[in-house]
Amino acid sequence: MGVLRKFLEILTLLSFIAVTSIMVSSHFILMKLTGDSPSERNDQRIRIITYGKDALSDNKNIEDTVNEKSMTMDTSSRIKPIVGQHPLLVGPEIQNETGSIATFEELEEESINLPHSTTNAATRTKASLDMFHHQKGGMVLLYHVAKTGGTSIQQLFVSMKKQKSSKRKYVYQKLGYKNRHVKIAFDDEEARDGQIRKIDDHIRGKNSKTLLLEVHSSHYGGLHNNSMLSSKIRNWREMSQTYNTPMFVITILREPFSFAKSYFRYFHVNCNKKWCPEQFNITLEDFVQTLEIHPNHQCHMLITEKIFRPRRNGEIDSPFENEEECEAIYETMKSTVDYVGTTDALTSELEPLLYHMLNGIVEEKHNLKSEKNLPFEEASIDDATMARIEDLSKYDQKIYDKVKRDFVLSDHFPDFKLKKKKR
């Protein structure tokens, strides 16, 4: 019996070694085929801002937390980028009286090819006005397309945290390009896996705060079906249904001519940072030239991970978006997000809707800070030039028109009534 037992133990050990060898070999073969090696990954970081001394209280192992101190919030400040970093991925300084900043390594998947989820627009739980009212915690995910007004959603969460009457607690997280305070090696698998776990744990109900997860359009491959972000949204959606945790995914788009003017002023006029693209004079001719560089740019930012057109040998790549691509990304967006707002209705619809969903209180609309006019406006542009401008944004216009048609607030939330101002 002793000899037989010894033989079985040796056989079991050999089987384990063989299986382990096959798994390791398969892993490296797949990495080779897909190019998913550490040296080929984008050096992307995550920045998490928490409000309240016990925010993200489950994460006791955070070592790089900035000491809490009394601060004041400056919501009027322009985005303050770190030199060499993209401004949209850093954002304005968000501060409050008890704020603290915790910094982490990049949010990146370990798996080589994420499977598609079975959760889609037809099967997922429909968003409702009271979805957050009877739950502890939850998550609002904002896919932030540049220059559409997403920063005001961020500021809405900050203002709700400051309100003494609010019974809910909020956490604000932002996926950033690089870590402002500490740089952890991107091949640190333990840190990367921990980052995924923190958000997963939040959805599993291990944190009672309501989370705003803000993802910028230049991260994680856009919203196309095979992107890391879309895969994670599908995964988080399934988890939210399993654990009965509210999850509301939104994005914002803008009327194309208004978007193009805002993008031109912010990125192409008097921008003196290292990340700035080519600079132009504030003239109609130069404005049209930037549209030649960035045609249908909202469609581009929905599809890809690049906020600017990449350059090769000093030349800007020609646009790859066509009508079919832009139609496809719209359908993908419809199946991925719960609601698409528009910049022109941001303060009259989307912000009051979010406030009501999160607090059960109907708030009066407030005014969005207006941008300065350019020397040229639509009324002063000749017909031929205006036709050219419209042609360069025709796919963006089609997407925008579909959003206006398919995302009527009263259709999605028929019980929502905006509070009228007292006269």
Instruction: Work out the angle between the directed axes of helices 394-406 and 383-392 (0-180°, nearest 10).
Output: 70
Range of the domain at 236: 40-254+327-359
- As a whole number of angstroms, the distance between CA 322 and CA 319 comes to 8
Residue 12 pLDDT level (bands cut at 50, 70, 90): confident
Give the 3-state secondary structure percentages of the chain, helix then strand then coil, rounded to 5: 40, 10, 45
Which residues does 321 contact at the CB level (< 8 Å), separation at least 6? Answer: 295, 296, 299, 300, 303, 395
Distance between CA atoms of residues 288 and 295, nearest Å: 10
Are residue 78 and residue 161 in the same domain, yes or no? Answer: yes
Note whether 88 and 197 are same-domain residues: yes
Residue range 173-196, pLDDT digits in tens: 554 333 222 222 334 556 556 666
d(CA 347, CA 367): 6
Same domain flag for 334 and 193? yes
- Cα angle for residues 64, 106, 189 (degrees, 5° grid): 90
- Flag whether 410 is in a domain: no
409 lies in a domain? no
Locate all alpha helices (DSSP H) within 208-255, ordered by sequence.
228-242
Asked whether residue 343 falls in the same domain as residue 316, the answer is no
For the whole model, what pTM was predicted?
Answer: 0.65
pLDDT (average), residues 128-157: 85
| 63 and 88 share one domain | yes
Which pLDDT band holds residue 130 (cuts at 50, 70, 90)? confident
Tell me: the pLDDT tens digits for 68-108? 222 222 323 222 222 222 222 222 222 223 332 222 222 22
- As given in the structure block, the two tokens for residue 299 are 């469609």
Nearest to 237 by CA among 119, 366, 83: 119
Q: Are residue 147 and residue 182 in the same domain, yes or no?
A: yes
- Cα–Cα distance, 230 to 114 (Å, whole number): 10
User: Residue 127 to residues 87, 260, 291, 395: CA-CA distances in angstroms?
Assistant: 32, 31, 36, 28
**Same domain for 211 and 65:** yes
Distances 107 to 46, 80, 222 between C-alpha atoms, Å: 6, 22, 14
Q: Is the pLDDT of residue 246 over 80?
A: yes
Residue 404 inside a domain? The answer is no
Count of domains forming the chain: 2
Q: Pick the residue with more confidence: 99 or 410?
A: 410
Average pLDDT, the chain: 67
3-state DSSP call for residue 117? coil
Q: How confident is the model at residue 138 (pLDDT cuts 50, 70, 90)?
A: confident
Phi, psi of 202 (to 5 degrees): -60, -45
Does some domain include residue 29? no
pLDDT in the model for residue 23 = 60
Contact 232, 109 (CB under 8 A): yes
Which of 165 and 411 is assigned the larger pLDDT? 411
Residue with the bigger pLDDT between 350 and 39: it is: 350
Cβ-contact 182, 118 below 8 angstroms? no
Report percent pLDDT > 70 for the chain: 51
Name the more confident of 50 and 236: 236
User: Position of tokens 């929502």?
Assistant: 416
Rg from Cα positions in the chain: 24
**Cβ of 70: how many Cβ atoms within 10 Å?**
9
